[in-house]
Amino acid sequence: MCGIVGGICQNNITPILIDGLKRLEYRGYDSAGLVVLTSDNVLQRTRATGRVANLENILNLQEINGTTGIAHTRWATHGEPSTKNAHPHICNNNIGVVHNGIIENFLQLKSQQQAQGYRFSSDTDTEVIAHSIHQALKECNTLLEAVQKAITDFQGAYSVGVISPTYPKHIVVARSGSPLVIGLSDKGNFIASDQLALINITKQFIFLKEGDTADITEDSVDIFDKNGVKVEREVKTSKLQNGQIAKGNYAHYMQKEIFEQPQAISNTLESRVTKDKVLVSAFGHKAKDLFSKVKHVQIIACGTSYNAGLVAKYWIEDIAKIPTHVEVASEYRYRNPVILDDTLFVSISQSGETADTLEALRAVKKRNKNIQSLVICNSAESSLIRESKLSFLTYAGPEIGVASTKAFTTQLVSLALLCVALGKCHKQVSKQQEKAIVDGLNHLPGLVAKTLNQENQIIALAKTFEDKYNALFLGRGSMHAIAMEGALKLKEISYIHAEAYPAGELKHGPIALIDKNTPVIAIAPNNELLDKLKSNLQEVKSRGSQMIVFEDEASKVVPMQGMSVIPVTNNLGRITAPIIFTIPLQLLSYHVALIKGNDVDHPRNLAKSVTVE
């Protein structure tokens, strides 16, 4: 959470900082700020609450110029969103700090520092970093040494960028538990939480490793590992294109990303399937051997990625016949789970930086050094990719909209491939079955495009949500997980309270919630549970609620009064159906949020990448 950008260059750094912050807003947008070393060698800071545009407006009236600077966009953890809590934090006009992460022992450090005479001007944990470095500088000869000394006191997670007028031509950074990249160019050197922030300036990046510190000047980068030993880190050329992160003709990133799904799914499938086969080697050259030995699958993830994992459980148990458990990472990491021998530990993450998911993987690796881990991830250079034995990229392209859309459907496609790969290695999938599944997957981009064409019908339905405060989503089997994803999307961007239930569970309590003001959205694929679902729909309808049923044409749900039945597809299989039924639910929540007048790409209280606990 929170985004950092900084740099030392030949020209004024401020426009680069503002552009970088805008690209990092997906990480938080409670407040933003920057500090620059001016030509008089003083730290000049500006901060504003809310979006980066507010900071930019202030800077338009009151310019700040300098060649060295650091900036931050915040997602509040310690201290309310306010100007005084916005970063950068400064100690005694001599240390400027931006920080992403949480210093867990900040209260203890704060009372020690108060006893030493340091005054606090914010409620943040970050301010202790500025004071610690200031204190350490008294005993050190360089800013780098002071940062290296100070961080030995910190518990928790951090990536920090530090500047000081005492060392005007330097930025010092440290990384532990939160991401940080260094961007290299012939016009200067830069830092950021994500390469996205700098892609306009450079394609050359160094991805710092856990525990690394670095001393950066305009034309040099010296990196030190967690033991303080000078190291070389590989310089990688980013494949990201600047255009990939532009909104183009779309009103919102979320809308763009919903409509990118046919292409994103094609990209996920490319080189991973032939016309009738899943290539097991797409999971790594050791995958065949490893998958053949797997007796259990444990999936962990958060939010939307967790919902993808729930769908995969149905698929893997049904098709590959391997027992599969799914759990939210924030719970899994703190309990003592029984890890059976020959478990494949699968983490799913769009960003690859979600703190809970990463820590769950680390906890499992600590308990069982031989655990086989696989990550399904959208971010090639992420921590989860680096720390997992096997990785499988979803190739959705950058997802900027806070509400996850194309990441989810490409995760499902990746998990479908995993399911078939496991099933093949366990001799549970016949050639014929494999061909049928691959055929279905290869048709997906076209089917998704067709479903997207139903947008106008969904806009009409969305209008009926204008005055609603609650909604219920129903599905059975894997469609319960899709219903959960539909409810999550509606909650997070339209702020309508939404719950998802397996339709058969309704009569055990939740049916009490149903009245004419609570719309019920049901998913009706044509499968073995269809008749049971139809009975559940009758139970709901007789309580007078407004209903929307997204059905397979072959399901032939008979519309009743107050019920809209929308066929979204025809005769889909168990793998393709959950993916297709996701599309109308994404469009529905997008249009309901628009009708409610919400900021779709920046829903309140949220951030895209949750890199803190």
Q: With respect to ligand F6R, which residue has the nearer C-beta, 377 or 537?
A: 377
Decide if residue 601 touches ligand F6R (CB under 6 A): no
Q: With respect to ligand F6R, which residue has the nearer C-beta, 164 or 305?
A: 305
Q: Which residues contact residue 261 at a Cβ distance below 8 angstroms, ignoring those fewer than 6 apart?
A: 405, 406, 409, 410, 448, 452, 583
Q: With respect to ligand F6R, which residue has the nearer C-beta, 14 or 350?
A: 350
The whole-angstrom separation of Cα 551 and Cα 266 is 24
Contact status, residue 355 vs residue 611, Cβ threshold 8 Å: yes
Decide if residue 350 touches ligand F6R (CB under 6 A): yes
Q: How far is the CB of 257 from ligand F6R (least distance, A)?
A: 11
For tokens 């809590």, the residue is 85
Size of the site for ligand F6R (CB under 6 A): 15
Subset of residues 279 to 298 that bind ligand F6R, contact rule: CB under 6 A: none
The whole-angstrom separation of Cα 376 and Cα 348 is 5
Instruction: Spell out, one character per residue from 351 to 380, where the chain touches ligand F6R: x when CB under 6 A holds, - when not.
Output: x--x--x-----------------------
Which of 302, 444, 522, 529 contacts ligand F6R by CB under 6 A? Answer: 302
Q: How far is the CB of 377 from ligand F6R (least distance, A)?
A: 8
Which of 304, 324, 394, 409 contacts ligand F6R by CB under 6 A? Answer: 304
The whole-angstrom separation of Cα 353 and Cα 366 is 19
Which of 159, 305, 414, 451 contacts ligand F6R by CB under 6 A? Answer: 305
Q: With respect to ligand F6R, which residue has the nearer C-beta, 164 or 611?
A: 611
Decide if residue 404 touches ligand F6R (CB under 6 A): yes
Contact status, residue 119 vs residue 110, Cβ threshold 8 Å: no
Q: How far is the CB of 106 from ligand F6R (least distance, A)?
A: 24
In order of 75, 302, 362, 560, the CA distances from 546 in angstroms are 37, 31, 46, 10
SS3 at position 158: strand
For residue 10, what are the β-bridge partners? none
Decide if residue 471 touches ligand F6R (CB under 6 A): no
> By CB neighbour count within 10 A (0-12 exposed, 13-18 middle, 19+ buried), where does 538 fall?
exposed
Both tokens of residue 47?
Answer: 């901060």
Q: With respect to ligand F6R, which residue has the nearer C-beta, 100 or 609?
A: 609
Subset of residues 485 to 504 that bind ligand F6R, contact rule: CB under 6 A: 488, 492
Please give the angle made by the CA atoms of 457, 458 and 463, to the nearest 5 degrees. 105
H/E segment holding residue 321 = none
2 catalytic? Reply is: yes
The whole-angstrom separation of Cα 124 and Cα 108 is 13
Both tokens of residue 531?
Answer: 């008749």
Binding part of the chain for ligand F6R, among 146-154, 264-272, 289-297, 348-356 by CB under 6 A, reads 348-356
Q: With respect to ligand F6R, which residue has the nearer C-beta, 25 or 492?
A: 492
> Which residue out of 2, 302, 377, 419 is catalytically annotated?
2
The whole-angstrom separation of Cα 565 and Cα 562 is 10
Q: For 220, phi and psi rounded to 5 degrees?
A: -150, 150
> Which residue out of 256, 489, 541, 608 is catalytically annotated?
608
Subset of residues 32 to 51 that bind ligand F6R, contact rule: CB under 6 A: none
- DSSP assignment of 430-466, as one string? -HHHHHHHHHHHHHHHHHHHHHHTTHHHHHHHHHTTT
Binding part of the chain for ligand F6R, among 34-42, 214-222, 349-357, 498-506 by CB under 6 A, reads 349-357
The whole-angstrom separation of Cα 373 and Cα 386 is 11
Q: How far is the CB of 194 from ligand F6R (least distance, A)?
A: 12
Decide if residue 403 touches ligand F6R (CB under 6 A): yes
Phi-psi region of 479 (alpha: psi -120 to 50; beta: other; left: phi over 0): alpha
Q: How far is the CB of 382 from ligand F6R (least distance, A)?
A: 9
608 catalytic? Reply is: yes
Q: With respect to ligand F6R, which residue has the nearer C-beta, 45 or 406?
A: 406
Q: With respect to ligand F6R, which residue has the nearer C-beta, 89 or 591?
A: 591
Both tokens of residue 146?
Answer: 């002071």
Q: How far is the CB of 252 from ligand F6R (least distance, A)?
A: 14
Q: With respect to ligand F6R, which residue has the nearer C-beta, 73 or 589?
A: 589
Q: How far is the CB of 355 from ligand F6R (least distance, A)?
A: 9
Query: What residue ranges bind ligand F6R (CB under 6 A)?
Result: 302-305, 349-351, 354, 357, 403-404, 488, 492, 609-610
- Supply the residues annotated as catalytic: 2, 608
